[in-house]
């Protein structure tokens, strides 16, 4: 029986019930066994690791608490149940994940597909709002779904990296294999309780009772998985304060931020950045009795396209400066119940320059790919279908190479017309000890160089990378101050000197400060509080165009 409050889907030996008010599963029952307490629900939170809280770095967790990522609530906007194919029921839930005391929001779509086999495919699309995109200057902890199982499901097995905990930047020394252990055994006793136990490159994972009953989770193509039985992990300061919970929390994550090193931030490729919609698909299967093993189940070719929230996804594009070619690819999916012809147009600056039409059966998918010869200069907004467009700029500009350097400090050195002809010529990135044998501590130095911005970039802002500076910088473009990272000893109203030697700088410059079709002068004022100094590491390129709306 199905009611508006609790839509229920029945099948051979299973009954799955949704909670329309919470936008989650209320019950996942198969073979007379209940498999779930609550969830799945979008989750972006993890208990901060020490690297994300201490003041030797950026203390990234401060942004998370300020935005309320640790206290997000779930508000259901709509729920719709439809039959999309023989033996396939779709439950579409539109919800808002929000912090009640901040402006942080994720507009979220959950697209469940329940199959007659008892399998559940869940497609998720989460769109962060401007408060999150602008408020997160480093990274989100994770993005995925979280669910809670009864406490009897206390045995974890998985096929992925192991047997120890692994993260995107901490898995090179581990082997992909099948591993198993109790949920309690996944605990890692750090000095201060914090995030622990993640598993990377997981093909499948199971939380089981030890009696042949388990909930299997699958990734498309792989996921991160973690499980714990601690009730107050984000509140305990010492291990003896940890309390057990009445249940097991399981995270099945599309992406997880790495952990970096002491005191080095996670590298850019290991960060979860809220720069656009997150879209992913995960699968669940309550397993009982004589069901196939998780490995056998993971080898099936399930119609993942059914759970896709958009017909076109996995959009990727690249610009190859050596050939002036833009390449683009995407996956086209038929999430409907009938065979269909689906158009996949390639657009450049909103105009269709090429198109593919594919015919797909229900739940099927296929790849499409394009190449486009771009003009020598310009800003190109590239998309396939309704995928979020990406910007490419030509030619490729970089600040790596020859700069002018002078020890000392004079505000006149930021002026674009200043004559720096008698300054030392140096190659960057490098410490000033390396390029100039400048070994003073508590000292200032300035770098200057110029670059041309094509006229075809007019109307766009610029994203200018300044790399890593030891210790503090203040950066100018054409005499306008465009950014500062760290604090100088004499900063008015500040708390005194604060190093930011490990942070990579990238500053956004509005169109009004840019000389399009002409020369632009960048000047970087640097203060070194001790040890090496200067503009010692990249990236110093590429300089890219940014839409003013961003």
Q: Which residue has the tokens 């041309």?
A: 452
Q: Which residue has the higher pLDDT, 276 or 237?
A: 237
Q: Which two tokens stand for residue 271?
A: 């960060």
Classify the C-alpha dihedral 102-258-225-236 as positive or negative.
negative
- The HSE-up count of residue 136 (CA atoms within 13 Å, CB side) is 27
Write down the H helix ranges in 3-91. 61-67
Averaged pLDDT of the chain: 92
In the predicted structure, residue 5 carries a pLDDT above the cut 90: no
Q: Sorting pLDDT into bands at 50, 70 and 90, what band is 276?
A: confident
Q: Which two tokens stand for residue 489?
A: 């000893």
In angstroms and rounded to an integer, the radius of gyration of the C-alpha atoms of the chain is 26
Classify the C-alpha dihedral 97-103-104-109 as positive or negative.
positive
DSSP states of 493-547: TS-S-B--TTPEEEEEE-GGG--BTEEEEEEEEEEE-SSS-EEEE-----BEEE-
In the predicted structure, residue 525 carries a pLDDT above the cut 90: yes
Q: Which residue has the tokens 């890219």?
A: 544
Give the residues across from 282 on adjacent strands: 122, 219
Beta carbons within 8 Å of 37's beta carbon, 6+ residues apart:
147, 148, 149, 150, 247
Give the residues across from 83 on adjacent strands: 89
CB 449 within 8 A of CB 403: yes
What is the per-residue pLDDT for 265?
Answer: 83
Q: Which two tokens stand for residue 187?
A: 């605990």
CB 350 within 8 A of CB 381: yes
CA trace torsion 42, 114, 226, 248 (10° rounding): 90
- Please tell me the total number of residues recorded for the chain in this structure: 550
Q: Which residue has the tokens 């979860």?
A: 272
Q: What is the 3-state secondary structure (H, E, C) of 156-216?
A: EEEEEEECCCCCCCCCCCCEEEEEEEECHHHCCCCCCCCCCCCEEEEEEEEEECCCCCEEE
- In which element (H, E) is residue 434 found? helix 432-436
CB 138 within 8 A of CB 58: yes
What is the per-residue pLDDT for 120?
Answer: 94
Average pLDDT value for residue range 344-359: 95
Q: Which two tokens stand for residue 323?
A: 């050939």
CB 195 within 8 A of CB 49: yes
Count other C-beta atoms under 10 Å from residue 390's C-beta.
18
Q: Which two tokens stand for residue 44?
A: 């972006």
CB 420 within 8 A of CB 343: no
Q: Which two tokens stand for residue 232?
A: 């107050």
What is the per-residue pLDDT for 275?
Answer: 84
Q: What is the pLDDT of residues 454-500, one digit of tens each?
A: 999 999 999 999 999 999 999 999 999 999 999 998 765 556 888 99
In the predicted structure, residue 42 carries a pLDDT above the cut 80: yes
Q: What is the pLDDT of residues 98-108, one digit of tens each?
A: 999 999 999 99
Beta carbons within 8 Å of 39's beta carbon, 6+ residues apart:
24, 25, 145, 146, 147, 148
Q: Sorting pLDDT into bands at 50, 70 and 90, what band is 3?
A: very low
User: How far apart (Å, rounded) are the C-alpha atoms in residues 255 and 547?
Assistant: 26
CB 84 within 8 A of CB 337: yes
What is the per-residue pLDDT for 129?
Answer: 94
Q: Is the peptide bond before 207 cis (omega within 30 degrees of 0)?
A: no
CB 123 within 8 A of CB 281: yes
Look at residues 198, 207, 231, 205 and name the one whose alpha carbon lies nearest to residue 219: 205
CB 63 within 8 A of CB 99: no
Q: Which two tokens stand for residue 383?
A: 């998309």
Average pLDDT value for residue range 299-323: 84
Average pLDDT value for residue range 227-241: 91
Look at residues 313, 302, 293, 224 and name the one whose alpha carbon lies nearest to residue 46: 224
What is the per-residue pLDDT for 290?
Answer: 82
Q: What is the pLDDT of residues 193-233, one digit of tens each?
A: 999 999 999 999 999 997 779 999 998 778 899 999 999 89
Distance of CA 305 to the CA centre of its chain: 22
Q: What is the pLDDT of residues 24-37, one digit of tens each?
A: 999 999 999 999 99
Percent pLDDT > 90 in the chain is 76
Per DSSP, the three-state class of 265 is coil
What is the per-residue pLDDT for 1?
Answer: 37
Count other C-beta atoms under 10 Å from residue 388's C-beta.
11
DSSP state of 293: P
- CA angle (550 as vertex; 109, 520 as ends), nearest 5: 155
| Structural domains present in the chain | 8-307 (2.70.98.10), 312-389 (2.60.40.10), 401-546 (2.60.120.260)
What is the per-residue pLDDT for 289?
Answer: 82
Look at residues 278, 276, 24 and name the one whose alpha carbon lies nearest to residue 126: 278
**Which region among 78-87, 120-129, 364-373 has the lowest average model confidence (pLDDT)?**
78-87
In the predicted structure, residue 81 carries a pLDDT above the cut 60: yes
What is the per-residue pLDDT for 314?
Answer: 86
Look at residues 200, 61, 48, 45 and name the one whose alpha carbon lies nearest to residue 138: 61
**Which region among 154-163, 206-215, 440-449 has the lowest average model confidence (pLDDT)?**
206-215
> What b-and-e string marks burial along 456-482, b requiring 16 or more CB atoms within 10 Å of the CB?
bbeebbbbbbbbbbbbbbbbbbbeeeb
User: How far apart (Å, rounded) are the C-alpha atoms in residues 513 and 520?
Assistant: 9
In the predicted structure, residue 2 carries a pLDDT above the cut 60: no
Percent pLDDT > 70 in the chain is 97
DSSP states of 359-393: EE-TT-EEEEEEEEE--SSEEEEEEETTSPPEEEE
What is the per-residue pLDDT for 4?
Answer: 66
């Amino acid at each position: 029986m199905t009611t508006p409050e609790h839509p229920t889907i029945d099948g051979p030996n299973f009954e799955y019930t949704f909670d329309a008010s919470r936008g989650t599963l209320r019950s996942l029952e198969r073979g007379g066994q209940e498999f779930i307490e609550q969830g799945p629900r979008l989750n972006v939170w993890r208990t901060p690791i020490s690297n994300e809280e201490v003041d030797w770095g950026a203390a990234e967790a401060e942004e998370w608490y300020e935005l309320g990522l640790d206290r997000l609530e779930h508000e259901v906007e709509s729920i719709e149940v439809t039959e999309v194919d023989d033996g396939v029921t779709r439950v579409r839930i539109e919800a808002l994940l929000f912090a009640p005391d901040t402006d942080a929001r994720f507009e979220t779509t959950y697209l469940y597909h329940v199959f007659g086999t008892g399998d559940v495919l869940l497609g998720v699309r989460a769109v962060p709002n401007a408060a999150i995109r602008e408020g997160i200057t480093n990274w989100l902890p994770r993005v995925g779904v979280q669910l809670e199982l009864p406490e009897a499901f206390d045995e974890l097995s998985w096929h992925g990296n192991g047997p120890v905990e692994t993260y995107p930047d901490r898995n090179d020394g581990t082997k992909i294999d099948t591993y198993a252990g109790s949920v309690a055994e996944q605990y890692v006793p750090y000095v201060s309780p914090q995030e622990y136990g993640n598993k990377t490159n997981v093909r499948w994972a199971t939380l089981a009772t030890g009696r042949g009953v388990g909930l299997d989770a699958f990734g498309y193509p792989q996921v991160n998985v973690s499980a714990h039985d601690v009730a107050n992990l984000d509140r305990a300061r010492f291990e003896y304060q940890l309390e057990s919970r009445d249940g097991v929390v399981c995270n099945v994550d599309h992406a997880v931020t790495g952990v970096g090193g002491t005191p080095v931030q996670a590298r850019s490729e290991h960060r979860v950045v809220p720069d656009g919609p997150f879209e992913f698909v995960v699968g669940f299967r309550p397993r009982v009795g004589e069901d196939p093993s998780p490995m056998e189940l993971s080898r099936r070719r399930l119609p993942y396209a059914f759970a896709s929230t958009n017909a076109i996804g996995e959009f990727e594009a690249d610009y190859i400066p050596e050939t002036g070619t833009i390449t683009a690819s995407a996956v086209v999916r038929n999430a409907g119940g009938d065979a269909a012809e689906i158009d996949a147009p390639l657009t450049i600056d909103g105009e269709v320059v090429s198109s593919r039409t594919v015919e797909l059966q229900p739940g099927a998918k296929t790849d499409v790919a394009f190449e486009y010869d771009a003009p020598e200069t310009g800003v190109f907004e590239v998309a396939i279908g309704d995928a979020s467009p990406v910007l490419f700029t030509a030619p490729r500009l970089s600040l790596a190479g020859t700069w002018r350097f002078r020890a000392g400090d004079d505000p006149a050195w930021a002026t674009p017309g200043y004559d720096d002809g008698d300054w030392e010529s140096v190659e960057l990135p490098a410490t000033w000890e390396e390029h100039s044998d400048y070994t003073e501590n508590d000292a200032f130095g300035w770098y200057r160089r110029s670059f041309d911005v094509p006229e075809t970039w007019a109307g766009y802002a610029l994203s200018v990378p300044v790399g890593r500076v030891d210790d503090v910088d203040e950066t100018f473009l054409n005499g306008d101050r465009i950014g500062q990272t760290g604090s100088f000893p004499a900063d008015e109203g500040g708390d005194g000197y604060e190093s930011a030697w490990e942070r990579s700088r990238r500053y956004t410059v509005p169109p009004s400060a840019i000389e399009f079709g002409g020369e632009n002068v960048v000047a970087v004022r640097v203060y070194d509080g001790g040890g090496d100094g200067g503009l010692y590491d990249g990236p110093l390129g590429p300089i890219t165009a940014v839409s003013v709306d961003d």
